[in-house]
Amino acid sequence: MTTHPAQDDSTGAGLSHFNDAGGAHMVDVGGKPETRRIAVASGLVRMRPETAAVIREGRAGKGDVLGVAQIAGIMATKRTAEIIPLCHPLPITHVDVSLEVGQDLVAIRAEVATFGKTGVEMEALTAVSAAALTVYDMTKAIDRGMTIESIRLESKSGGRSGAWERTDG
Amino acid sequence: MTTHPAQDDSTGAGLSHFNDAGGAHMVDVGGKPETRRIAVASGLVRMRPETAAVIREGRAGKGDVLGVAQIAGIMATKRTAEIIPLCHPLPITHVDVSLEVGQDLVAIRAEVATFGKTGVEMEALTAVSAAALTVYDMTKAIDRGMTIESIRLESKSGGRSGAWERTDG
Amino acid sequence: MTTHPAQDDSTGAGLSHFNDAGGAHMVDVGGKPETRRIAVASGLVRMRPETAAVIREGRAGKGDVLGVAQIAGIMATKRTAEIIPLCHPLPITHVDVSLEVGQDLVAIRAEVATFGKTGVEMEALTAVSAAALTVYDMTKAIDRGMTIESIRLESKSGGRSGAWERTDG
Amino acid sequence: MTTHPAQDDSTGAGLSHFNDAGGAHMVDVGGKPETRRIAVASGLVRMRPETAAVIREGRAGKGDVLGVAQIAGIMATKRTAEIIPLCHPLPITHVDVSLEVGQDLVAIRAEVATFGKTGVEMEALTAVSAAALTVYDMTKAIDRGMTIESIRLESKSGGRSGAWERTDG
Amino acid sequence: MTTHPAQDDSTGAGLSHFNDAGGAHMVDVGGKPETRRIAVASGLVRMRPETAAVIREGRAGKGDVLGVAQIAGIMATKRTAEIIPLCHPLPITHVDVSLEVGQDLVAIRAEVATFGKTGVEMEALTAVSAAALTVYDMTKAIDRGMTIESIRLESKSGGRSGAWERTDG
Amino acid sequence: MTTHPAQDDSTGAGLSHFNDAGGAHMVDVGGKPETRRIAVASGLVRMRPETAAVIREGRAGKGDVLGVAQIAGIMATKRTAEIIPLCHPLPITHVDVSLEVGQDLVAIRAEVATFGKTGVEMEALTAVSAAALTVYDMTKAIDRGMTIESIRLESKSGGRSGAWERTDG
């Protein structure tokens, strides 16, 4: 019987997603304790002011782009481990995706929580990405040039490596 | 029996993803001809130079981040219609995802083709997003501050609305 | 090389989903022409008048149960062939799901179209079912006794067996 | 770092699937204890007596409609969180789906159990729905007018809100 | 706009699943004609005679291992492109999976057809694999030592490369 | 309220995947303790020496068949419960898939771990199967006659039934 000691996925010395032979593997988190873990990610869709105006009006009743994108973000969170090859499947306990229209952009923020052996950073980033793609899909007929920008982790807490918070604004 | 005339998804006058009652629907493309359609999208993951260096070395043999991200991008392309709520399922005929490491970034480009009734812009953008998320996942242990930037359509061809190419660089 | 003549899935003499040995199979539709096919299905969620009132208010702005159920119905349509074992995968070209709150119920109607070799009855029925389950999920905290009723095909058109319309009201 | 107190999903005062801003979210169950939870749901497919007779004969050996529907129900249970947008993914520990042919109907019953932080009502209702849709699919060639009726929760146990049992017959 | 000439996936000179840079891609089949394509694959699960006897009795009424494995095979066929990274999604038009119990084995055969731009060899092999894994799953409590053997293509027809039939027995 | 005592899935007296009525069900594992469980499976793809040579060269830089198959195996592990009808969904904590090219074959080995109520034998066997199918897919253009052989459990540990190791070589 082969034995397989629990591995550390946060040593910083190298990429933990590869085994000694240089092959990809799903890191062993079996020896890590289950703790409450939260991650917050954000991103935005940059667009023409006219496009932002159409979305703002829709919110008021004629076609709710942000409502659909919110659902897309929540549902994608649950499929993160299907999309990201080496991501662990996790029992998500909470997802909140919010979207706000600005002058020439839609700002997206996702908060995801679990009680598990590894963090939910990828789940939060995937939620933001899916919501952003959905905003693009629903408005591309009037603005093909939109860009998705600044998808990034804002903070995380829980787990051995502890809390992390973005400090560069 | 209700009848439902083919609708135009590119009128520009409004958002075609909503019906007259303001509800979301999947646009009727039944009346559109099947033509060869190609879309190209791009994006990048901004990172510390040290992180880019680790990825570059991995390429050389100790853990191929870009190879895994490439597969993630290709596989996500096929699931676009599951992730984006109002996206039509399409018989993808070609996907090519390429990744290149720069000084402080990984640049991603995806080209997707189909022979169908609607375009593959969302498929190309989804491929880039999934590849970018995978790069983040595989290197986050050494650089949590990375950001995903500039996910955007570069060009599309085929279909009634014809070719479109980004002109703002 | 075995040969396999196109089979008729509408003979009425028996169940076409079984082969001669009595085993389940996915009926051969390879010999059928591609035609435009439309199916309409309906159903309802029966509930207490107080529950219907809460949903009606939500529509007005504080939590849109019907908007979420609509998206659930559209997305489930695309996964019909994953849920129903012997159902053919089809390139859906249009989905429209509408929900209306009545005195003590939510009425659901789905219209689905394709241009393909077999019909979309199951897609329309699946859309209605998923929307109904979502209405239940979102309001079950205040009314566990709700029931889903009368999920049924209203009409279909296209294909060799031609149009069919419900006549019993 | 944002904080997010555990929320109650059974207050009855409103719909827990919406946050304070009226947006949809997946309720936070992180603070709830893991307990054994069971839910039982039922439903039926109403059909012509001739159709029920064909199914009954199939059971005896020439094409087992109920056997296929049983598998469809079990498999759909595992995908509930993919179909219902705000449903939590849960580690299902038991599923039992039974189907019985009557004079002019097929009666379906599903029992689902988990050991988790939230209940399995939606899983049991989804199992019944998928089994009912499969019965329809497999017999629609001989009886398009069938209807799916009375999909409902019969009982649930476990969790803070305790046991619930249908009392209206 | 980049251009991308249709590529040949059967040159034999090299592996078509890689582009000129050595990266994996989904081969471009956009320029290939749609033709009727059929593939037949087979395989077997080797087991103790006692295990085969239990399966044979089940068939007779107390628990139908082969019936469940048949459904598993059919359903997996539809998900081939999700499981095999570079496989094209195809509109499957027919699937037939048969299983037979022998003295100390279960023999599996799958026939899959499509009308499309590329073949269904992978779909037939995936159907056999999923059916074999299901037989293992359902009997492993009494025979952990079973092995899955000889999963292979038996024949294919359709497409430019024409018919192929196994000749080595 | 029905009650449902925890059942034993390893009695050996019969097939636990069927209930008393002979119907398929997902065995109740609710009463089993969560323990660390590991399973190792193996298998091989038999091919012409020329094909093995092409794969070996690709490893060296022109197209990495084994790298793609490794990712396919890891990703399929996470979808085991979707492919095998009566398999329990499990929180996989580790997956390692390795592939080695021999004279006329590719040898595959998968190790999977969880901390859960039931074992991961099916996950390890599914990982091997998906990797083998991917090797076939990527080289079939030059060698259609390849066969997948000897997919089998090598060892398992954890759980009430304890450790098991293959002894017949």
pLDDT (tens digit per residue) in A23-42: 899 999 988 888 999 999 99
To 10 degrees, the CA torsion angle through E114, E119, E123, E129?
140
Give chain B positions within 8 Å (CB) of E88: 91-93
- CB–CB contact E64 D68 (8 Å): no
Task: Please give the helix or strand (H or E) that residue B73 lies within, else none.
Answer: helix B65-77
Distance from CA of D67 to the nearest CA of F (A): 7
Q: CB–CB of E139/E68 below 8 Å?
A: no
* pLDDT reading at D11 higher than 60: no
- CB–CB contact D4 A38 (8 Å): yes
Q: What is the pLDDT of residue C61?
A: 56
pLDDT above 90 as % of chain F: 72
Of F20, F104, F137, F143, the catalytic one is F137
Nearest CB neighbour to B88, from listed C38, C71, C93: C93
Cα–Cα dist E81/E88, whole Å: 6
Question: Of A1-5, E10-14, F92-96, which one has max mean pLDDT?
Answer: F92-96
Q: CB–CB of F54/E15 below 8 Å?
A: yes
pTM, two decimal places: 0.92
Task: Please give the helix or strand (H or E) that residue A140 lies within, else none.
Answer: none
Task: Let me know if E166 is exposed, middle or buried by CB neighbors in 10 A (0-12, 13-18, 19+).
Answer: middle
Cα–Cα dist A83/B73, whole Å: 9
Closest of F96, F75, B68 to residue A27, by C-alpha: F96
Q: Could you list the active site residues of C? A: 137
pLDDT (tens digit per residue) in C55-91: 998 765 556 899 999 999 999 999 999 999 999 999 9
Q: What is the pLDDT of residue A61?
A: 56
Q: What is the pLDDT of residue F8?
A: 36
- CB–CB contact D64 E68 (8 Å): no
Nearest CB neighbour to E10, from listed F141, F147, F149: F141
Nearest CB neighbour to F74, from listed A1, A85, A91: A85
Cα–Cα dist B139/A14, whole Å: 9
- From F142, which residue of chain E is nearest by alpha-carbon distance? E12
- From A153, which residue of chain D is nearest by alpha-carbon distance? D1
Cα–Cα dist D167/D154, whole Å: 9
pLDDT above 90 as % of chain B: 72
Nearest CB neighbour to A17, from listed B84, B85, B138: B138
Which residues are CB-contacts of A167 (< 8 A; sequence separation ≥ 6)?
none
Q: Average pLDDT of B124-135?
A: 98
Question: Catalytic annotation on E96?
Answer: no
Which residues are CB-contacts of B85 (< 8 A; sequence separation ≥ 6)?
A68, A71, A72, A134, B24, C71, C74, C75
Q: Which of A113-117, A157-161, D105-109, E35-39 has the lowest mean pLDDT?
A: A157-161
Q: What is the pLDDT of residue C12?
A: 38
Query: Coil, strand or helix: which one is C132?
Result: helix
Instruction: Identify residue B119 by its one-letter amino acid code.
Output: G
Closest of E84, E90, E78 to residue E24, by C-alpha: E84
Higher pLDDT, B9 or E16: E16
Give chain E positions within 8 Å (CB) of D72: 71
Task: Let me know if B11 is exposed, middle or buried by CB neighbors in 10 A (0-12, 13-18, 19+).
Answer: exposed
Q: What is the pLDDT of residue C159?
A: 83
Neighbour tally for F30: CB within 10 Å: 20
Cα–Cα dist C110/C128, whole Å: 6
Q: Average pLDDT of D64-86?
A: 96
Cα–Cα dist B112/B122, whole Å: 10
Which residues are CB-contacts of C53 (< 8 A; sequence separation ≥ 6)?
none
Q: Average pLDDT of F89-102?
A: 95
Q: What is the pLDDT of residue C161?
A: 77
Q: Which chains touch E (3 or more CB pairs under 8 A)?
A: B, C, D, F
Q: Which of A139-148, B53-62, E39-48, E81-90 has the lowest mean pLDDT?
A: B53-62
- CB–CB contact C54 D15 (8 Å): yes
User: How far from chain centre, in Å, is Cα B134?
Assistant: 14
C-alpha angle C20/C22/C25, rounded to 5°?
A: 85
Cα–Cα dist B94/B74, whole Å: 9
pLDDT (tens digit per residue) in C83-103: 999 999 999 999 999 999 999
Mean pLDDT over the full length of chain C: 88
Give chain A positions within 8 Å (CB) of F75: 82, 85
- CB–CB contact D155 F23 (8 Å): no
Confidence grade of residue B137 (pLDDT, cut at 50, 70, 90): very high
Q: What is the pLDDT of residue E70?
A: 96
Higher pLDDT, F137 or A169: F137
Q: Which of C59, C64, C65, C71 to mutate to test the interface with A (most CBs of A within 10 A)?
A: C71
Nearest CB neighbour to C1, from listed E75, E98, E155: E155
Give chain B positions within 8 Å (CB) of E116: 91
Query: For chain D, which residues lie within 8 Å of any Cβ of chain F, measuring from their own Cβ?
Result: 36, 38, 40, 67, 70-71, 74-75, 77-79, 91-98, 111, 113-115, 155, 157, 163, 165
Q: What is the pLDDT of residue A8?
A: 35
Closest of A69, C115, C55 to residue B15, by C-alpha: A69
User: How far from chain centre, in Å, is Cα C64?
Assistant: 22
pLDDT (tens digit per residue) in A64-75: 899 999 999 999
**Phi, psi at F29, each rounded to 5°:** -110, 10
Q: Which residues pair with F46 in a beta bridge?
A: F105, F147
Q: What is the pLDDT of residue A15?
A: 81
Q: Average pLDDT of F17-30?
A: 88
Q: Could you list the active site residues of B? A: 137
Cα–Cα dist A38/A157, whole Å: 5
Q: Which of E16, E20, E25 to mutate to test the interface with B (most CBs of B within 10 A)?
A: E25
Higher pLDDT, F28 or C169: F28
Q: What is the pLDDT of residue C33?
A: 87
Q: What is the pLDDT of residue E12?
A: 38
pLDDT (tens digit per residue) in F64-94: 899 999 999 999 999 999 999 999 999 999 9
What angle do the packed helices C65-77 and A65-77 form, to 10 degrees? 60
* pLDDT reading at A5 higher than 60: no
Q: What is the pLDDT of residue D22?
A: 83
Q: Which chains touch F (3 or more CB pairs under 8 A)?
A: A, B, D, E
Distance from CA of F126 to the nearest CA of A (A): 15
Query: Coil, strand or helix: which one is F107?
Result: strand
Q: What is the pLDDT of residue A18?
A: 86
Q: What is the pLDDT of residue F33?
A: 87
**For the residues of E37-70, what is the DSSP string, one character each?**
EEEEEEEEEE--HHHHHHHHHIIIII--HHHHHH
* pLDDT reading at D139 higher than 80: yes
Q: Average pLDDT of C20-25?
A: 86
Give chain F positions within 8 Å (CB) of A29: 93-94
Of D8, D28, D96, D137, the catalytic one is D137
- Would you give the DSSP letter of residue B169? -
Cα–Cα dist A160/A8, whole Å: 10
User: How far from chain centre, in Å, is Cα A168?
Assistant: 19
Confidence grade of residue C14 (pLDDT, cut at 50, 70, 90): low
Confidence grade of residue D14 (pLDDT, cut at 50, 70, 90): low
Distance from CA of E124 to the nearest CA of F (A): 11
Q: What is the pLDDT of residue C9?
A: 37
Question: Of C19-28, E143-152, F62-71, which one has max mean pLDDT?
Answer: E143-152
Q: Average pLDDT of E73-101?
A: 96
Nearest CB neighbour to B117, from listed C71, C93, C165: C93
pLDDT (tens digit per residue) in B60-92: 555 689 999 999 999 999 999 999 999 999 999
Cα–Cα dist C154/E142, whole Å: 49
The pair of three-digit structure tokens given for residue D69, joined into one six-digit string: 């529907």
Distances F117 to A99, B11, E7, F6, F15 between C-alpha atoms, Å: 39, 55, 49, 12, 19
